[in-house]
Amino acid sequence: MQKQYDFKKQELKWRKFWEKESLYKFNPKKSGKIFSIDTDPPTLSGKMHIGHVSSYTHEDIIARYHRMKGENVYFPFGVDCNGLPTERLVESINKITLFEIGRKKFIQLCQGTIKKVLPDFIAGWKRVGMSCDFSNVYSTISQEVQKISQEYFLELFEQNRVYEKESPTLFCPFCQTAIAQAEMEDKEKQTIFNDIEFKLEDGNKIIIATTRPELLASCVAIFVHPKDARYKNLIGKTAIVPIFGQKVKIFSDENVDKEKGTGIVMCCTFGDTTDLDWYFKYNLPLRVSITKQGKLNDLAGEFKGLPIKVARKMIIERLKEKGLIKSQKNINHSVNIHERCGTEVEIIPTRQWFIKYLDLKEQFLKQSDKLNWYPKYMKIRLDNWIRGLRWDWCVSRQRYFGIPIPVWYCKKCSKIILPSIKDLPVDPLHSKPSKKCSCGSNEFIPETDVLDTWATSSLSPQIALSLVKDKKIRQKIFPTSLRPQAHDIINFWLFYTLSRSYLHFKKLPWKDVFISGHVLDSKGEKMSKSKGNAVDPEAILEKYGTDAVRYWASQAGMGDDFRFNEEEIQQGKRTATKIWNASQFALMHLKNYSYKKTDGKLLEDEDKWIFTKLNQTIKEYTDRMDKYEYPRAKEIIDSFFWKDFCDNYLEIIKSRAYEPENKNTLKAVQFTIYKVVLAILKLYAPFMPFVTEEVYQGYFQKTEKTKSIHLTLLPVIEKELNFPKIVPDFELVIDAISQIRKYKSENRLSMKAELESVSIKTKDKQRIKKYLPLISKLMSVKEIKLV
RNA sequence: GGGCGUAUGGCUCAGUUGGUUAGAGCGCUAUCCUCACACGAUAGAGGUCGAUGGUUCGAGUCCAUCUACGCCCACCA
């Protein structure tokens, strides 16, 4: 008999089988409650990482569980091919830059490259055993999705929720695009804190500390703290900015930190978000001295054209020449960088499109209240984020590869022209409005900006829905039952989807939200390519098999970051092997058995005991799974399978199975094995879909008829097979066996060594009596004395 | 600075509404090649539950304070 379960062969075999049979294809006609999942479309990147493996395993376990509960599971799959990450990928694969080949060619290249890499990319998700409907994968850049995204954009336009405005915007000079608040990250950087001397009109001098002297040309005001005794007399006076000479007023504001620098701060348009606040609060003049390219402009006079960092050096040099730098020190401070490229973010007034939602904070908070959060405490993160919002949602990006903003401007009267819905999707660059402008002009300027990726992925429930043709079913799918996602994008994807759903439907997009954590390295540190501690999922899957890796992943509870742990994967592999081995052994005794329900009446006490234990297991397992507590459910089935079934039940019934005293006792064993093994396989199936399928197909499929274990229903508690009274009696038996095992172990005897006589302690001499023959046979003891 | 979370044997984690000797797996030690499985079995050693104080007849489990770590947000002149 084969002693090793060959996972490699089996996993490939069953993956092919599932795909060929369209096992997970959504069937709108199937009866039963619909369980719909707003699957997170992974961002198209070269390869999946280990974090994907874990979070997608989590949602797949949930999906498989609900499918086996008899629900009609809608589990779509999509890939986010939109925007900057794809541009970057395409550039690196093709070893070109978009500037070299131009917009039109670049977009074509993107589309071509996506086609090429997508199948391999998706294959990763198939490999981890995802039970999505892969027959109908969406891409966020497809024509269909473009239509959806543009249509909802137009809807917001009609609601007066979309506007365009020249406004100070978070801008990435490297990516050449506006970005959203959520796209910023902090980074500690070393810089120089310069104490610079300013002259006052009255001839006095003040010292201002700044890390950004290159912005002197943009200085529009100076601030001190209203309660700073040192500078009370400065308030209201006028200072002269060195080098550039503009005169600026000195104000007082609570936001000034007295302890920082000299306690006097210059306000530039714009150095940071505080400057922005002051700009609006005190209605300060606008003096922009840096360009979108991150260079100084005309306002900077002789420094014009210099990149920010170079200009900083030059201006410091100039100040030094003039003796205006009083001191310098190195400090570490954190700056806002663009999370996609690491460039320091600037605030530059540009014309952008916004979705107006700042007025809806209260409503969003209410929506958050109504949502079922798993785990509960993640809600606070969203609420904090909503409360802290300061900007409307900037949805325009000055990028090439994305969904175009469906807008033209009349060349003559500048009016905004929208396409009609039936013409969507449109690319204003390559098409024209179907009608003349109301002013009579037939010439238009196309909008060249594209939509922010999140403006589209925030419609993921609608996108997923669009794959289903039947309208009635669509109504049942939305709001979806579940949104699974990781905690790092609560402020992005979760928030944006929730807000879009409110704007368009005044509804929650989902009933439940399930948040999963991150995978850390074995030391508990974040994995990253630069650190070199990232684990390659492919190598791990290759080494241990998918079931084993899923076993590891399923130890992470909701919301918890957890460590990569190769030992736990090994444990998963052992479990898969044990399932396979125990099944082979158990099923060996069913060779000439055909399952009959009436055999359930022939049960002996150990059979009744294992059935009762099974029922307890089913109950606890189901309770946990319903609350998305799959790690506990896994432990429950582990313990039942390994301890109760393998270590005890199978040992106890061996003699009955090998040398039965009569037909009935054998039938009872066979009946029990049949039902319990099948139940174990089913309970493990959401976690370890491959090995359970292998065993099911090798035996049970013939009798159960269902095409795959993954389409079967979970075992339920059968009243006629529940004998709670047996359990305490049998605990005595297990205890007695354990005592004899201990005696043999301590005396270095083999477990099969024969003993003349042994004494065991028991709580209840009367009740254990009837089991003494069983114990003595199992443990090869001639006489058992009760103490 | 605001918020959230976590701290239980060497490691990874359970411990539900406070109640008798704190659990599991891995690792470790010893024994057993027991006719499914040595990726196995049996047994054993090993924690007083981050710290301090409090509530209580009784606290890992509630309260307060503190410490360490992680994350989110703000600041970052």
What whole-number distance in Å separates Cα of residue A608 and Cα of residue A722? 7
The one-letter amino acid at A764: D
**CA A375, C1' B62: Å apart?**
22
A210 touches strand B (CB under 7 A): yes
pLDDT on residue A2: 43
Q: Which residues contact A658 (CB under 8 A, 6 or more apart)?
A: none
Strand B and A635 CB separated by under 7 Å: yes
A353 burial via Cβ count (<10 Å: 0-12, 13-18, 19+)? buried
C1' of B47 to CA of A743 (Å): 27
Instruction: Please tell me whether the peptide bond between A505 and the residue prior to it is cis, using omega within 30 degrees of 0.
Output: no
Quote the CA–CA distance of A183 and A101 in Å, as a whole number.
27
Find how far residue A445's CA is from the centre of its chain. Answer: 40
Q: What is the pLDDT of residues A621-646, one digit of tens each?
A: 999 999 999 999 999 999 999 999 99
H or E stretch covering A29: none
Asked if the bond preceding A773 is cis, omega within 30° of 0, the reply is: no
What's the CA A632/C1' B62 distance, rounded, in angstroms? 25
- In the predicted structure, residue A531 carries a pLDDT above the cut 80: no
Provide the positions of strand B that have an atom within 7 A of a protein CB: 2-5, 11-15, 24-27, 30-44, 69-77
The model's pLDDT over A353-391, given as tens digits with 9 standing for 90+, comes to: 999 999 999 999 999 999 999 998 899 889 989 988 888
**Is any atom of strand B within 7 angstroms of residue A373's beta carbon?**
no
pLDDT at A1 over 50: no
Q: Does A736 have pLDDT greater than 60?
A: yes
In this complex, the answer to whether residue A583 has its CB under 7 A from any atom of chain B, a nucleic strand, is: no
Nucleotide of closest approach to A378 (CA, C1'): B4
Closest nucleotide relative to residue A257's CA, C1' based: B77
Tell me the per-residue pLDDT of A402-458, one tens digit each, with 9 for 90 and over: 999 999 999 999 999 999 999 999 999 999 999 999 999 999 999 999 999 999 999
Structure-token match 């079967």, residue found: A712
**Whether residue A33 has pLDDT greater than 60:** yes
Q: Tell me the three state secondary structure of residue A390.
A: coil
In this complex, the nucleotide whose C1' atom is nearest to the CA atom of residue A574 is: B39
**Residue A697, helix vs strand vs coil:** helix
The answer to whether A238 and A186 have CB atoms below 8 angstroms apart is no
> For residue A549, what are the β-bridge partners?
none
List all residues 6 or more positions away from A197 whose beta carbon is below 8 Å from its beta carbon.
A205, A206, A207, A242, A323, A324, A325, A326
DSSP character string of A38-98:
-PPPPB--SS--HHHHHHHHHHHHHHHHHHHTT-EEE---EEB--SHHHHHHHHHHHT--H
CB A653 within 7 Å, strand B: no
Place of tokens 């083999």: A750
Q: How many C-beta neighbours within 10 Å does residue A757 have?
A: 9
DSSP 3-state assignment of A602?
helix
Interface ipTM: 0.94
| Distance in angstroms: CA A552, C1' B72 | 27
Q: Judge whether residue A266 has pLDDT over 70.
A: yes
Q: 């339920």: which residue's tokens?
A: A716
Q: What is the mean pLDDT of residues A213-242?
A: 92
Length in residues, chain A: 787
For residue A751, give the nucleotide whose C1' atom is nearest its CA.
B34
Could you write out the DSSP letters of every residue in A288-338?
Answer: --B-TTSBB-GGGGGGTT-BHHHHHHHHHHHHHHTT-EEEEEEEEEEEEEE
Measure the N-to-C terminal CA separation of chain A; round to a whole number of Å: 44
